[in-house]
Chains A and B, each alone.
Chain A
Amino acid sequence: MDAMLVLDGLTKKYQEVVAVKDLSLELHEGEFLTILGPSGSGKTTTLKMVAGLETPTSGMISVNERDITFLPPNERGLGMVFQNYALFPHMRIKDNVAFPLHMKKPRLPEAEIGRMVAEILQLVQLDGYQDRYPSQLSGGQQQRVALARALVFHPPIVLMDEPLGALDKKLRSAMQLEIKRIQQKLNITTIYVTHDQEEALTLSDRIAIMRDGEIAQLDTAKNIYEHPNSSFIADFIGESNFVPVEIAGQEGEELILRIKSEQGSLIRCPRRGAQPKPTDDLKFVIRPEKVAIGRDLGPEAKLRGQVAQVIYLGETVKYIISIDGSYHFSAKEQTMDIRSHFSVGDLIDLTWNSENSQLLS
Chain B
Amino acid sequence: MRTRISRFDRRPVWLYIVCGLVLFFLIMPVLIIIPMSFGGSDFLEFPPSSFSLRWYRDFFSNPKWLNAAWNSLRIAVCTMVLACTLGISAALGITSKTMKKGGKVFNVILLLPMILPSIIVAISMYMVYGQWKLIGTYTGMVLAHTCLAIPMVVTLTAASLYGVDSNLYDAARSLGATHFTAVRKIVLPLIRPAILTSMLFAFVTSFDESVVSVFIARRNTATLPKLMFDSLKYEVSPAISAISSLLIFATLAVFCLRFVINAKKEAAHEKVH
Select one of A74, A78, A79, A136 contacting B177, CB under 8 A. A74
Select one of A53, A77, A88 contacting B176, CB under 8 A. A77
The answer to whether the Cβ of B173 comes within 8 Å of any Cβ in the partner chain is: yes
Q: Mark A235-255, 1 if CB is under 8 A from B, else 0.
A: 000000000000000000000
The answer to whether the Cβ of A258 comes within 8 Å of any Cβ in the partner chain is: no
Residues from chain A with a CB closer than 8 A to the CB of B273 are 135-136
Evaluate contact between A86 and B173: CB separation under 8 angstroms: no
The answer to whether the Cβ of B42 comes within 8 Å of any Cβ in the partner chain is: no
Within 255-273 of B, Cβ neighbours of A (below 8 Å) are at 272-273
Residues from chain A with a CB closer than 8 A to the CB of B186 are 88
* Contacts known (A99-B175, A104-B176, A153-B176); A90 close to B167, Cβ less than 8 A: no
CA distance in complex: A103, B177 (Å): 6
Residues from chain B with a CB closer than 8 A to the CB of A103 are 175-177, 181
The answer to whether the Cβ of B134 comes within 8 Å of any Cβ in the partner chain is: no
Evaluate contact between A80 and B176: CB separation under 8 angstroms: no
Residues from chain A with a CB closer than 8 A to the CB of B50 are none
Evaluate contact between B170 and A73: CB separation under 8 angstroms: yes
CA distance in complex: A14, B185 (Å): 31
Q: How far is the CB of A73 from chain B (nearest CB, A)?
A: 4
Central interface residue in B170, B175, B185, by most chain A CB within 10 Å: B175
Select one of B170, B179, B190 contacting A86, CB under 8 A. B170
Q: Mark B144-174, 1 if CB is under 8 A from A, else 0.
A: 0000000000000000000001011011111
Evaluate contact between A79 and B167: CB separation under 8 angstroms: no
The answer to whether the Cβ of A276 comes within 8 Å of any Cβ in the partner chain is: no
Q: How far is the CB of A135 from chain B (nearest CB, A)?
A: 8
* Contacts known (A90-B190, A103-B181, A136-B273); A82 close to B170, Cβ less than 8 A: yes
The answer to whether the Cβ of B124 comes within 8 Å of any Cβ in the partner chain is: no
CA distance in complex: A159, B175 (Å): 12
The answer to whether the Cβ of A36 comes within 8 Å of any Cβ in the partner chain is: no
Evaluate contact between B173 and A73: CB separation under 8 angstroms: yes
Residues from chain A with a CB closer than 8 A to the CB of B176 are 74, 77, 100, 103-104, 153
Evaluate contact between B170 and A53: CB separation under 8 angstroms: yes
The answer to whether the Cβ of A84 comes within 8 Å of any Cβ in the partner chain is: yes
Q: Number of contacting residues on B, CB 8 A?
A: 20
The answer to whether the Cβ of B231 comes within 8 Å of any Cβ in the partner chain is: no
Evaluate contact between B174 and A79: CB separation under 8 angstroms: yes
Evaluate contact between A84 and B175: CB separation under 8 angstroms: no
Evaluate contact between B175 and A53: CB separation under 8 angstroms: no
The answer to whether the Cβ of B189 comes within 8 Å of any Cβ in the partner chain is: yes
* Contacts known (A86-B167, A103-B181); A74 close to B174, Cβ less than 8 A: yes
* Contacts known (A89-B190, A133-B272); A80 close to B171, Cβ less than 8 A: yes
The answer to whether the Cβ of A51 comes within 8 Å of any Cβ in the partner chain is: yes
Q: Mark A107-125, 1 if CB is under 8 A from B, else 0.
A: 0000000000000000000
CA distance in complex: A52, B175 (Å): 11
Evaluate contact between B173 and A53: CB separation under 8 angstroms: yes
The answer to whether the Cβ of A165 comes within 8 Å of any Cβ in the partner chain is: no
The answer to whether the Cβ of B178 comes within 8 Å of any Cβ in the partner chain is: yes
CA distance in complex: A123, B152 (Å): 48
Q: Mark A65-104, 1 if CB is under 8 A from B, else 0.
A: 0000000111011111011101011100000000110011
CA distance in complex: A37, B142 (Å): 57
The answer to whether the Cβ of A12 comes within 8 Å of any Cβ in the partner chain is: no
CA distance in complex: A73, B170 (Å): 8
Evaluate contact between B168 and A88: CB separation under 8 angstroms: yes
Evaluate contact between B178 and A74: CB separation under 8 angstroms: yes
The answer to whether the Cβ of A149 comes within 8 Å of any Cβ in the partner chain is: yes
CA distance in complex: A150, B171 (Å): 9
Within 129-174 of A, Cβ neighbours of B (below 8 Å) are at 133, 135-136, 149-150, 153, 159
Q: Tell me the nearest residue of chain A to B167, going by C-beta.
A: A86
Q: Tell me the nearest residue of chain B to A77, going by C-beta.
A: B176
Q: How far is the CB of A345 from chain B (nearest CB, A)?
A: 53
Q: Tell me the nearest residue of chain A to B182, going by C-beta.
A: A74
Residues from chain B with a CB closer than 8 A to the CB of A99 are 172, 175, 177, 185
Evaluate contact between B174 and A52: CB separation under 8 angstroms: yes
Residues from chain A with a CB closer than 8 A to the CB of B170 are 51, 53, 73, 80, 82, 86
Evaluate contact between A84 and B167: CB separation under 8 angstroms: yes
Apart from the given pairs A73-B174, A86-B170, A86-B171, 14 other A-B contacts in the complex at a CB distance below 8 Å:
A52-B173, A53-B174, A74-B173, A74-B176, A76-B174, A77-B176, A79-B174, A80-B171, A86-B168, A88-B168, A88-B172, A103-B176, A104-B176, A136-B273
Which residues of A are in contact with B by a Cβ distance under 8 Å? Answer: 51-53, 72-74, 76-80, 82-84, 86, 88-90, 99-100, 103-104, 133, 135-136, 149-150, 153, 159
Which residues of B are in contact with A by a Cβ distance under 8 Å? Answer: 165, 167-168, 170-179, 181, 185-186, 189-190, 272-273
24 sampled A-B residue pairs with Cβ under 8 A:
A53-B170, A53-B174, A72-B178, A73-B173, A73-B174, A74-B173, A74-B174, A74-B175, A74-B177, A74-B178, A77-B176, A80-B170, A80-B174, A82-B167, A82-B171, A84-B167, A86-B165, A86-B168, A86-B170, A88-B168, A88-B171, A88-B172, A103-B175, A103-B176
List 6 A-B pairs, minimum CB-CB distance, nearest first.
A103-B176, A86-B171, A100-B175, A86-B167, A80-B174, A73-B173
